[in-house]
């Protein structure tokens, strides 16, 4: 029976929107094509781009893996993943027949030179058929230990080499290194084959529409940027919480923990976007230069200071998870206080926290402004008005919330906090937010690295994280504390911020009592 095809067709590539730039003809080669990331994220993202007319007419995908598949079985596997995970389905978009026709599979061991020679021949054959202009984007969707192997083999057979006007690029998934020395070594290995301009280190958080909106909010509006400094802001909180536990990731997570899994990449990315100076232009060089300046200005937390500036915790049933080492002290929750030693942020604390097995999956950035310098309204002795807070809700309830004081109707001058709220769903409709991988893959195809991480940025992030991890493994380590699954973390986290006279902000609609 033929596939059901609706009247929804790909958007025209030559539409009137001047910002709709279509990439050059190309082939995307995905290493690890039989894996979970490819099925859940990469192929659904590419298919959605095809449905929206954002892929070039001359385009193909080659999946590379060790699994025994052929083109037809690979296409069926891809279709099943798209039907399950894509925001646009094959029976909703007329792009599927051509998209499926341009899917190819290449079975090879990742360390086998012959596999890369035959891959080169396959790419030449596809290029001749579809007219891809010898442009190629390699995507490493494999375990990190295979990154150097694949990069080296690509270099040996000349597949990384750019000639004339054609381009070769590579996307590398996180984690990029295990610590600073391994990140430096991986950068060296990659740069032996690829120029930095060819390398796209992906952090899917930067592809989220709500994260990019942080840049628009700060730099396309004149309201808040004059207040975005130590004169008006008391402190900033950045939270990335997960409602799931370990799942099937014991092999990775029990050696990584929350610092390597979340802080070194996701939280520090949000941190730099929140704190950076306005770039002169929105391009890869200007944007990433400003992010690097922030990381360079972070006041280091020395190993002997970790008890003062960090806490570490583990959800109580973690040690019962399958594959976890007995008695492990891997942290699944952390709270960290950072300072940036520059003019804008001098002595303004940034509180970063993240944890697993919490009540909800939430990402938010909350800015608390200073108290008014003089209050003319009468209050009971010891009372003060709540400070204004601005919360950027990145997920869920995507939007922005501003809390401020207003007068309660009636006699006297009593006040109450109220909210101004913007929600994406209300203004733009449901299901309008594209998946992060759609934006990032399209950017890589277009050669725009603005939302990808540069090599020096990776190393600077590890320079912040490594001393904390060293401190956690030393005599200066704060005691590992435990918290119950389904709570907002250990009570020690409340004590941690209350010691500074502050409280955790839950600006995206979560209950503050954690119940």
**Residues with a known catalytic role:** 266
Closest CA to 437 of 109, 146, 8, 43: 43
Angle between helices 268-275 and 455-472 (to 10 degrees): 120
Q: If you write DSSP's letter for every residue of 132-188 in order, what string do you get?
A: -TT-EEEEE-S-GGGHHHHHHHHHHTTTT---TT--EEEEEPSP--SSHHHHHHHHH
Token output for 497? 């911020």
The CA distance from 45 to 348, in Å, is 39
Could you tell me which residues are beta bridge partners of residue 176? none
Cα–Cα distances in angstroms (integers) from residue 63 to residues 138, 243, 485, in the given order: 10, 32, 39
Could you tell me which residues are beta bridge partners of residue 333? 313, 355
Could you tell me which residues are beta bridge partners of residue 400? 392, 422
Beta-sheet strands, E only, within 264-388: 310-315, 333-338, 350-355, 362-369
Counting other chains too, the contacts that 376-379 makes at CB distance below 8 Å and 24 or more residues apart are 377/413, 377/415, 378/413
What does DSSP assign to residue 7? Answer: S
Measured distance between the N- and C-terminal CA atoms of the chain, rounded to whole angstroms? 51
What does DSSP assign to residue 421? Answer: E
Q: How many C-beta neighbours within 10 Å does residue 337 have?
A: 20
The CA distance from 195 to 105, in Å, is 27
């Amino acid at each position: 029976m033929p596939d059901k095809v609706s009247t929804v067709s790909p958007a025209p590539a030559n539409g009137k929107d001047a910002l709709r730039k279509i990439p050059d003809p190309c082939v995307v080669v995905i290493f690890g094509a039989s894996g979970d990331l490819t099925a859940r994220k990469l192929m659904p993202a590419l298919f959605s781009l095809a449905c929206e007319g954002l892929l070039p007419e001359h385009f193909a995908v080659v999946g590379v893996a060790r699994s025994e598949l052929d083109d037809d079985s690979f296409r069926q596997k891809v279709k099943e993943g798209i039907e399950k995970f894509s925001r646009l389905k094959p029976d909703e978009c007329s792009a599927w027949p051509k998209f499926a026709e341009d899917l190819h599979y290449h079975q090879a061991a990742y360390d086998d030179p012959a596999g890369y020679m035959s891959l080169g021949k396959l790419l030449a054959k596809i290029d001749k058929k579809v007219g891809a202009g010898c442009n190629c984007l390699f995507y490493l969707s494999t375990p990190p230990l295979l990154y150097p192997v694949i990069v080296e083999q690509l270099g040996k057979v000349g597949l990384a080499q750019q000639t004339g006007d054609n381009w070769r690029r590579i996307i590398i998934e996180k984690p990029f290194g295990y610590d600073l020395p391994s990140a430096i070594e991986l950068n060296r290995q990659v740069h032996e084959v690829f120029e930095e301009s060819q390398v796209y280190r992906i952090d899917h958080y930067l592809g989220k529409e709500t994260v990019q909106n942080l840049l628009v909010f700060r730099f396309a509006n004149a309201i808040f940027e004059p207040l975005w400094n130590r004169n008006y802001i008391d402190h900033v909180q950045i939270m990335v919480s997960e409602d799931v536990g370990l799942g099937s990731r014991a092999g990775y997570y029990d050696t990584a923990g929350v610092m390597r899994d979340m802080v070194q990449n996701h939280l520090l990315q949000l941190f730099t976007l929140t704190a950076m100076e306005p770039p002169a232009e929105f391009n890869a060089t200007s944007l990433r230069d400003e992010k690097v300046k922030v990381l360079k200005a972070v006041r280091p937390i020395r190993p002997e200071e970790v008890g003062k500036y960090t806490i570490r915790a583990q959800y109580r049933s973690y040690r019962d998870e399958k594959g976890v080492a007995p008695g492990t002290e891997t942290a699944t929750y952390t709270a960290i206080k950072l300072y940036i030693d520059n003019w804008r942020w001098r002595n303004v604390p940034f509180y970063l926290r993240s944890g697993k097995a919490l009540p909800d999956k939430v990402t938010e950035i909350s800015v608390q402004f200073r108290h008014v310098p003089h209050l003319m309204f009468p209050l009971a002795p010891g009372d003060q008005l709540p400070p204004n807070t601005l919360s950027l809700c990145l997920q869920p309830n995507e939007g922005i919330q501003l809390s401020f004081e207003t007068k309660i109707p009636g006699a006297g001058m009593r006040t109450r906090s109220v909210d101004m709220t913007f929600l994406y769903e209300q203004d733009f409709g449901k299901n309008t937010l594209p998946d992060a991988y759609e934006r990032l893959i399209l950017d890589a195809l277009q050669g725009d690295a603005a939302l990808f991480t540069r090599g020096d940025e990776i190393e600077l992030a590890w320079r912040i994280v490594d001393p904390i991890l060293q401190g956690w493994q030393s005599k200066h380590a704060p005691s590992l504390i435990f918290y119950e699954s389904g709570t907002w973390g250990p009570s020690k986290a409340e004590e941690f911020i209350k010691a500074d006279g502050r409280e955790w902000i839950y600006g995206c609609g979560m209950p503050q009592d954690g119940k």
